Structure 1
């Protein structure tokens, strides 16, 4: 099915060839001129693309409105989060019907011994409630609004917040006195996200970025003093490394962390002497990653360190905080296929995150003997993680849980008894019943015989998957060891309720099956990511789940590279491809070290600037260079943002122009005031997703 009206003419970008020569190879790039973001011609072209996309999709406006209404109608618009205890207060968030942004609030504890969060109702006033930050008030007069830092000091008297109003992920940090409501004179522009108070509330620790948008410097600001007097705590000159800093939960140390894709290093600084000299935990060694968490065991400061030194799937050791390079005590030994993800330490116990059999899991760690007790759940597919645990010595652990069919759920896990206390499950209005939906995992054989997991979600009233061919929405990512977890989505219900099966191809390059799964989908093995996705589609067709005419693929960012690659590799397998902020001009970007984040990315993709073999390999799959003549491409929608600093708008703009040269039906939608995450505000985000879902349904022939 197509909406192509012969009376509508797409914008035609001028061809202005630019020769790019590397390693004896010259590539003529006719659309590189679109990179000039401040050029009026470029802006006019993007606006013309938006106008054309608007005309081409105008017939879907009623469906978009319907889907937006479905998302809105299933959402409890006025709601509250589960309060989390910190100090003498319960902290929680509010959403209000009609308001785009959340509201941060707190209410006083009834008793110092109270660890049971109050049950809050949107219709009932909360005794002693204090509104800390109303995003709707702060966002007035802006087209884009993002909160990148937010924290209250330990004594509860001050609040810091960092705001971005452009979408370029540079935040201005301000401080508010919570006793008077006064905004202090302190104003720190150009920060990265994640600014934090020192434990005593006197200082703010923050990071700034270099010209390539890389967080490279950690600063110390004393509240009440000029920013020009701020102290540089740490600077990382190596362009491959990001830098960040945070205090341990115990408030004993400041940990300064730096890392590339494959190497990390940490420095430790006493929190009561922030102007002192930091000490390196373990000196960096190429290819060795580690992360530390502080605890006090038998009266001694120790660090629990997760590392991959001769341990592909990582192991956990314990060292003295005063001599971290001294003897190591193995706590959890390396086990192949049992990927350790992280350790979080509290006063009396720790929590270990790990991945086994394709699922992330949590276990309680005993400091006494290193035993790990897994927290079990009944569903075959689920996701779980810690969250909302600011206190150092709580009797309970706050968990977030969900699955493809179970809405987001908050539990408190009672450590002493192992009891899970249900605190809240995300309300889904409109008669939603989890029993109406099914989830399962199947396995698709890849080109080399590797079994690729594919998760399926469907509405049972349309029959079980495989009983007859059904429309399929196939999603993929496959980079940076990032795993696509089984998570719930309200907007997805608008697809499932129309008979679409949602599928996730957990391709190599992700982390679903352990560290080797990632290694087998990066650098010179990157093509596995693309062929795995195609194999998943072919398996679903071969097993009778669907047909190529009924598959729409979707991926974003590095997953957008996947979309561009599979569109070139197997265009016959897909009816449509939705590419969100797609990394489709990968080779051009990775060749230019002056562009944001390029040098950091060399550890993920390789360095084509200095290595001819890497150059040739990347050129063999980079979507822009490999658009093919004489093939029938699926319908394509590329969505991007003008102020995206991670994947610049120019990549999909060039790609769409090239696709049109070979007769592809390709649309470009560019948000003119937004960043990598798209538009801001929940209603705006719902409308954006409704636009994409309506396009997906149109491609699948389900728009009527």
Structure 2
């Protein structure tokens, strides 16, 4: 399925002056905090590792909190000279964003649904209008009011009953992705006293408008492992488990098919899928297994008419194919090919309409949207002319329409939401992202797709954007971003925030390295498990390429990545620190071995098919050879900014904390090393619409300060 990254917003003044080779203003007299050394021996397969900072995982230990606060104080003091610049950048980025903005309305079950923002407010307002956009607005949730008194707030998973009366929704006020589901009566405005705790936030209503299916998490690992059924008017203590996933490498979820005929329970691991279906009008019946799990068999299902359409890798279809099966005979022996497997085309997703099948594909690293009439006549692709774009289907909840809604953007083109008439082949731009300030012109920027050669001869694409007039003389500051894990494709996207770098002379690029699915499923397979190092060497080879082509030099090259991309950052600075002047590692997964050996940590067991299970010595040895924390050594390191969140459930705060503590002892030279811990947030950072810009402003001033750019 598609993994889109869509960031928001808008424009800036061109600022000249790339003060080459100027040292940033630094406070030299401050002594950085040093974490106490408390050696702990960790043994596996006869190998003994000594972890001096293992104690930092004691979240409730006052000494741990004190250390994190000292690191924050050190970072604040060392960057005090950039505080005004941070504020100026924040205001600059915010000024490009349309504050009183709203989404493109979509029609669902007789109501138009809209998400909008009001000027000066951080959180969205969710509303709807009955039958017409001219109808009176009905506010469902004003998150600005709901967020009062909370340092963090997130509303997620709104689910409307078929009679339009009830809305289930999830609230997280900790940033640990543990949501409490509540239910609102949309006719009276009353929020019921019922609270469904420790959930994913997602839920779906049966057709009786009183039965709600939802997903709960394991209290320790936070793995979504149980599907519950709640009846309106009953005590949640009596909610029944309708499915429990006992294999700890799988996670579960529940949803309703677009046709509304079936409730579906999905159970998936990295390599294997299994679904269960239940007619939505018989919520008290038993779910039926669609196709029993078979290791290595991945599939997803979509219902239409009297059939299910199955996107699957069955029969060694590495890049997936589309099959069809009767709804009363769903086992794989009944599946028939509809779109055959193609070695050079990845089939990512489908959208079903009454008269059309729409297929999202990826070829040569580029998004394709294929329109296929059910009549079998006159199929075609939507035309896209450049190579640094992203196109994707968006909200298409209605079967009986010829209108396809899709999104489009490029690295220099603001995002648009487009309604395309598949019959007449005409399109209407419903909304184009506004870049306020009146100074943005996409013609002032150049977009390129270039190809680096990896050490094994593989060609790796890089999407690049920069301001016109830049000379390729090796003196340009250059920020290279990548992720490279879980088969997540990092498509080129527009960011008004990024203009604050581009207009100050930076070149920005995304390296589409192996481990993602950018060039098909094999691209992912060749960057995981015992081939994971391809991800790191690809990034290093992309770095060497942009230096060789004189886009930049090692004095001006910067790297950035978050989460599994933070693992990438940790690996490259161990392997090739001399290539980078600075690195930003956001919520980095850097203590690979210790984390993957601890099955009590959230997500660990479900990750074995991505990284390997270190209980197997083969994987242990391989993971140990690249784990950033285990491979820190006495050498020069680039300037480094590390960010984390105390309540992070994806990458626990202690991974970056331990890494920074070890780097402080081991690194040679006077490079900067900062850790910024958000004591109120988790993996996604701050929750407010504009609060998150303050975090970006910190990162940008770190880069700009290293370049000697002061304003």
TM-score normalised over the length of structure 1: 0.95
Residues 484-493 or 659-668, more deviating: 659-668
Are the aligned partners of 2:181 and 2:201 in contact in 1 as well (CA < 8 Å)? Answer: no
Aligned counterpart in structure 2 of residue 323 of structure 1, from 325, 329, 337: 329
Equivalent positions of 1:325-404 (< 5 A) are 325=331, 326-369=333-376, 372-404=379-411
When residues 380 and 588 of structure 1 are mapped into structure 2, their CA distance, relative to the original with a 3 A threshold, is same
Relative contact order (C-alpha < 8 Å, sep 6+): which is higher?
A: 2
Q: Number of aligned residue pairs: give it.
A: 683
SS at match of 2:555: helix
Q: Corresponding residue for 1:634?
A: 638
SS at match of 2:84: helix
Are the aligned partners of 1:411 and 1:421 in contact in 2 as well (CA < 8 Å)? Answer: yes
Q: Corresponding residue for 1:113?
A: none
Are the aligned partners of 1:551 and 1:700 in contact in 2 as well (CA < 8 Å)? Answer: no
Aligned counterpart in structure 2 of residue 697 of structure 1, from 696, 704, 710: 704
Are the aligned partners of 1:575 and 1:700 in contact in 2 as well (CA < 8 Å)? Answer: no
Are the aligned partners of 2:24 and 2:707 in contact in 1 as well (CA < 8 Å)? Answer: no
Q: Corresponding residue for 1:653?
A: 657
Q: What CA distance in whole angstroms lies between the structure 2 residues aligned with 1:370 and 1:220?
A: 44
Q: Is the counterpart of residue 55 in structure 1 residue 77 in structure 2?
A: yes
Are the aligned partners of 1:100 and 1:681 in contact in 2 as well (CA < 8 Å)? Answer: yes
When residues 547 and 468 of structure 1 are mapped into structure 2, their CA distance, relative to the original with a 3 A threshold, is closer
Aligned counterpart in structure 2 of residue 601 of structure 1, from 599, 607, 615: 607
Unaligned runs of 5+ in 1: 111-117, 119-125
Q: What CA distance in whole angstroms lies between the structure 2 residues aligned with 1:280 and 1:642?
A: 40
When residues 541 and 697 of structure 1 are mapped into structure 2, their CA distance, relative to the original with a 3 A threshold, is same
Unaligned runs of 5+ in 2: 1-22
Query: CA shift at 1:376, angstroms?
Result: 1.9
CA deviation profile, 1:156-188 (whole Å, cap 9, x unmatched): 222221100001111111111111111123221
Q: What CA distance in whole angstroms lies between the structure 1 residues aligned with 2:620 and 2:85?
A: 44
Q: What CA distance in whole angstroms lies between the structure 2 residues aligned with 1:242 and 1:459?
A: 44
Q: Is the counterpart of residue 229 in structure 1 residue 238 in structure 2?
A: yes
Q: What CA distance in whole angstroms lies between the structure 2 residues aligned with 1:200 and 1:696?
A: 56
Q: What CA distance in whole angstroms lies between the structure 2 residues aligned with 1:314 and 1:150?
A: 31
Q: Corresponding residue for 2:13?
A: none
Equivalent positions of 1:59-208 (< 5 A) are 59-110=81-132, 118=133, 127-208=135-216
Q: What CA distance in whole angstroms lies between the structure 2 residues aligned with 1:371 and 1:310?
A: 29
Q: Corresponding residue for 2:9?
A: none
Query: CA shift at 1:239, angstroms?
Result: 0.3
SS at match of 1:423: strand
Aligned counterpart in structure 2 of residue 472 of structure 1, from 449, 472, 478: 478
Query: CA shift at 1:412, angstroms?
Result: 0.6
Query: CA shift at 1:197, angstroms?
Result: 2.2
Q: Corresponding residue for 1:121?
A: none
Q: What CA distance in whole angstroms lies between the structure 2 residues aligned with 1:164 and 1:652?
A: 24
Q: Corresponding residue for 2:6?
A: none
CA-atom RMSD in angstroms: 1.5
Q: Corresponding residue for 1:486?
A: 492
Aligned counterpart in structure 2 of residue 269 of structure 1, from 273, 278, 281: 278
Query: CA shift at 1:452, angstroms?
Result: 0.8
Aligned counterpart in structure 2 of residue 410 of structure 1, from 417, 427, 435: 417
When residues 374 and 176 of structure 1 are mapped into structure 2, their CA distance, relative to the original with a 3 A threshold, is same
Q: What CA distance in whole angstroms lies between the structure 2 residues aligned with 1:358 and 1:301?
A: 31
Q: What CA distance in whole angstroms lies between the structure 2 residues aligned with 1:143 and 1:535?
A: 42
Q: What CA distance in whole angstroms lies between the structure 2 residues aligned with 1:177 and 1:109?
A: 19
Are the aligned partners of 2:369 and 2:392 in contact in 1 as well (CA < 8 Å)? Answer: yes
Q: Corresponding residue for 2:55?
A: 33
Query: CA shift at 1:472, angstroms?
Result: 0.2
Q: What CA distance in whole angstroms lies between the structure 2 residues aligned with 1:69 and 1:75?
A: 10
Aligned counterpart in structure 1 of residue 574 of structure 2, from 568, 571, 590: 568
Q: What CA distance in whole angstroms lies between the structure 2 residues aligned with 1:665 and 1:250?
A: 56
When residues 689 and 370 of structure 1 are mapped into structure 2, their CA distance, relative to the original with a 3 A threshold, is farther
CA deviation profile, 1:500-554 (whole Å, cap 9, x unmatched): 0001111111111111111111001111100110100101111111100101100
Residues 181-190 or 166-175, more deviating: 181-190
Are the aligned partners of 1:246 and 1:256 in contact in 2 as well (CA < 8 Å)? Answer: yes
Q: What CA distance in whole angstroms lies between the structure 2 residues aligned with 1:102 and 1:623?
A: 38
Q: What CA distance in whole angstroms lies between the structure 2 residues aligned with 1:576 and 1:240?
A: 37
Are the aligned partners of 1:304 and 1:343 in contact in 2 as well (CA < 8 Å)? Answer: no
SS at match of 1:624: coil
Aligned counterpart in structure 2 of residue 554 of structure 1, from 556, 560, 563: 560
CA deviation profile, 1:343-385 (whole Å, cap 9, x unmatched): 2223333221111110122222333449853222233221111
Q: Corresponding residue for 1:673?
A: 680
CA deviation profile, 1:74-116 (whole Å, cap 9, x unmatched): 1111112111111222111111111110001112224xxxxxx
CA deviation profile, 1:32-52 (whole Å, cap 9, x unmatched): 100000111101111111111
Q: Is the counterpart of residue 625 in structure 1 residue 630 in structure 2?
A: yes
Query: CA shift at 1:3, angstroms?
Result: 4.3
Query: CA shift at 1:339, angstroms?
Result: 0.6
Q: What CA distance in whole angstroms lies between the structure 2 residues aligned with 1:305 and 1:498?
A: 45
Residues 642-651 or 99-108, more deviating: 99-108
Are the aligned partners of 1:186 and 1:223 in contact in 2 as well (CA < 8 Å)? Answer: no
Query: CA shift at 1:591, angstroms?
Result: 1.2
TM-score normalised over the length of structure 2: 0.94
Q: Corresponding residue for 1:209?
A: 217
Equivalent positions of 1:516-531 (< 5 A) are 516-531=522-537
Q: Corresponding residue for 2:3?
A: none
Q: What CA distance in whole angstroms lies between the structure 1 residues aligned with 2:643 and 2:495?
A: 20
SS at match of 2:180: strand
Are the aligned partners of 1:409 and 1:425 in contact in 2 as well (CA < 8 Å)? Answer: yes
